[in-house]
Amino acid sequence: MSKDKINNYFTKKLSRLPVSAKTHTFDQLMKKSIDLSGVGIDSDEKFKKYFILKSAAKSIGAKLSFEENKELLNLKINNINDAYYNIVRMKAQKNNIKKVAYPNTFGYRDDIENEFNVNNWLKVVHLIYDSVANKEMTKQNALDYYSNFLNIEEDEDEKFKKWFKYYSDGEHLKYSSKEDEDMKKKAVYISDMGQGNSPYYSGGGSAYLGENTGYNMPGDSLDQHLFDHVSSNANKAVEDKDVFSNWKGKLHTAIRRIDKLLRTDRYMDSDTYRNLAENLMNLSLQVHTLKLANTITDVTYKAANKFTKLGHTEGAEILKKIAQEVPEQPPLNQGPDPRLEREENVAPAAPIAGVEEGAMQAEAPLEEVAEPEVEEPSPTSGIPKSDTVEPAALESIKPIPGARPGEYEELAGDINLDDAATKLDEVAGMLADRRIIRQLAEFDIMLDKLGIASMFPELAESQSKLIDAYSYALTRVTKMMGQLANAKTLVKAQTGIPGATEEVEPAEEVVPAPEQEVGEEELVAPELPE
């Protein structure tokens, strides 16, 4: 777009302004809109970037040209620190470092070391400050971590640490003064990352930002009091994270200890072991997933109560002991509200004539009103909680219709393998149908519609146990169906019971074994010998 035209974005903004088009203010806004349109601002996002860049450039004394503004608006800038980094990187790329060389009067010659990419160092300093500002690492930890991304084989990381520490500790300002500005090294590189109102500013001069715009050396203001405040907060945050991590580690150690106790208990029955192991596994998963100490403490106490209920008091005591050692969280408001202090310091106004007497008369009734009133009991205060409710008696439960008439009499009569196979098929069908589980699910839906489903946590547990039991029983029944089919085939193929021996007389006549168990269709009386 041409520099003397206005885009649609600013046209809409100007149309919404409550300013007449014939005023001088509107002419100034029109001129500014044309300039910003030429830069390339056509959205709220770029407009916000422009103000961030303008503030950052002003704080470090950098002058951005039309083309530089246009180029910077196309970069990713989310905060003031990103603006500092991109401005300095652009200036460093477009200007060469000026360094004064001195003659070698003593003839001493040392090997010239390889040069390092200053832009890489600038990026590392940017990452260090971001970590400190976000309270992810301390200043030293961030320096040790991000310096590993440099060339370690050529000792670039160690040289970067010395260079960073030199400027971060303010050693370059030890012998500086306004009269000695001409003796300073004219450096293009800036890294004074984001401390105070002007992260890149510390007073002095720069080769490319102009005179009296700051020393602009890496870490010029890293030792300022504002950064010390940010750094101390970051140190405290990291210490709190370390304490919290150590406490979680102790809790995981306690869980492993309890698991070892469960495995070595030879007198524990299988059901109790399964319940305790499931609770312990759920607790371990929650401790690993949750991020808040208070929440982890709650689930730990809950697991300890379950262990006590199941009779494993030793594991419950271990969990309660670790839960009591939870690190304290700092309060949100650590200081008094300054607004309250201002109200306390306000001098009392002079009493108005005729009002003081009325105030004295109203003082006694106000004191009576200020007395605390007795709270009325809540309508739900007398309702017992779910943990204190007694289960219903089995005698009060009305059983559903049982066996059909004459069903048990059929079992006393003559039966065969087909009858047994039919009965087993019926059992398998009932297990596969899961009717009881579905009825419990329907009951859960009813409670949800009534808004009281959360009062019945045992419902989900009973459904889960039923599903496990039905699945286990169904697998066993299907296995028995296969065994029954094999038994039926075996009985039809043989005339005797498997494993029984037949008695054979020495004569030609063969007497069959007595009391053979064969199918009903093969029950024929044997002929006796004459």
Amino acid at 412: A
- Say whether 210 sits in a helix, a strand or coil: strand
Higher pLDDT, 376 or 161: 161
d(CA 155, CA 161): 10
Tens-place pLDDT, residues 172-202: 666 555 444 444 444 433 444 444 444 444 4
The per-residue pLDDT of the chain, averaged, comes to: 69
pLDDT at 351: 45
| pLDDT classification of 370: cutoffs 50, 70, 90 | very low
Tens-place pLDDT, residues 491-514: 776 655 555 455 444 545 545 555
- Say whether 451 sits in a helix, a strand or coil: coil
Pseudo-torsion of CA 268, 273, 276, 281, nearest 10°? 140
* 524 CB burial (10 A radius; 0-12, 13-18, 19+): exposed
pLDDT at 485: 76
Give me the helix-helix angle, 80-94 and 118-133, nearest 10°.
170
Sign of the CA dihedral running 152, 154, 160, 166? positive
Q: Distances in Å between the alpha carbon of 1 and those of 67, 155, 515?
A: 13, 49, 110
Tens-place pLDDT, residues 64-118: 888 888 888 888 887 777 888 888 878 777 765 555 455 555 555 555 566 777 7
d(CA 470, CA 437): 9
> Please, what's the largest Cα pairwise distance for the chain?
146
Residue (of 17, 6, 12, 21) closest to 44 by Cα position: 12
Q: What b/e sequence results for 243-270 when a residue is b if at least 16 CB atoms lie within 10 Å of its CB, and e otherwise? A: ebeebbeebeebbeebbeeeeeeeebee
d(CA 16, CA 259): 70
First to last CA, the chain: 128
Name 146's bridge partners: none
pLDDT at 45: 85
pLDDT at 421: 81
List all residues 6 or more positions away from 268 whose beta carbon is below 8 Å from its beta carbon: 262, 276
Q: Distances in Å between the alpha carbon of 412 and those of 74, 407, 415, 416, 419?
A: 91, 10, 8, 12, 12
pLDDT at 469: 85
> Which of the 8 DSSP states describes residue 206?
B
Residues 190/217, Cβ–Cβ less than 8 Å: yes
Higher pLDDT, 230 or 317: 317
Tens-place pLDDT, residues 239-263: 777 788 888 888 889 999 999 888 8
d(CA 13, CA 145): 47
Tens-place pLDDT, residues 378-392: 444 444 455 555 665
Residue (of 193, 188, 161) closest to 85 by Cα position: 193
Q: What b/e sequence results for 57-92 when a residue is b if at least 16 CB atoms lie within 10 Å of its CB, and e otherwise? A: bebbbbebeeebbeebbeeebeebbbbbbbbbbbbb
pLDDT(346) > 50: no
pLDDT(338) > 50: no
Predicted structure pTM score: 0.33
Residues 78/194, Cβ–Cβ less than 8 Å: no
> Which of the 8 DSSP states describes residue 521?
G
pLDDT(57) > 80: yes
Residue (of 72, 74, 7) closest to 34 by Cα position: 7
Angle at 197 between CA 194 and CA 202, to 5 degrees: 75
